[in-house]
Amino acid sequence: DAKTTQPNSMESNEEEPVHLPCNHSTISGTDYIHWYRQLPSQGPEYVIHGLTSNVNNRMASLAIAEDRKSSTLILHRATLRDAAVYYCILREISNFGNEKLTFGTGTRLTIIP
């Protein structure tokens, strides 16, 4: 089964870029890479997702390695409000049309003022 690996924690200074890595060396060709974050005492919220190409949205950028075995979530300018646990998730449509989800353990991001 596919598996994701993330560092347990990271720290970054406020107003600096943050690169959050995720390894998914057993990813299959149909797996979408999703990132969610969970602020303290809240439910997870969607950040970004992609399949093969790099993606940008108003919240972040997602850089996907050419072999798709890893990806990096990029917060271009961290603010204190970005302090959260960030989850890397693989979502796959199986041959039978069912969905399989694989989660990372999450990276706790601390922003230093």
The residues binding other proteins (CB under 8 A) are: 30, 32, 34, 36, 38, 42-46, 49, 51, 85, 87, 91-93, 96, 98-101, 103-106
Shortest distance, position 75 Cβ to other proteins, whole Å? 18
Name 1's bridge partners.
none
Nearer to other proteins, 12 or 34 (CB): 34
Map residue 33 onto helix, strand or coil.
strand
For the chain, the first-to-last Cα distance in angstroms comes to 40
C-alpha dihedral sign at 36, 88, 19, 52: negative
Shortest distance, position 87 Cβ to other proteins, whole Å? 6
Cα distance between residue 112 and residue 83, in whole Å: 9
Shortest distance, position 31 Cβ to other proteins, whole Å? 8
Nearer to other proteins, 8 or 113 (CB): 8
Name 49's bridge partners.
34
Nearer to other proteins, 13 or 94 (CB): 94
Cα distance between residue 63 and residue 70, in whole Å: 9
Shortest distance, position 90 Cβ to other proteins, whole Å? 9
Nearer to other proteins, 39 or 80 (CB): 39
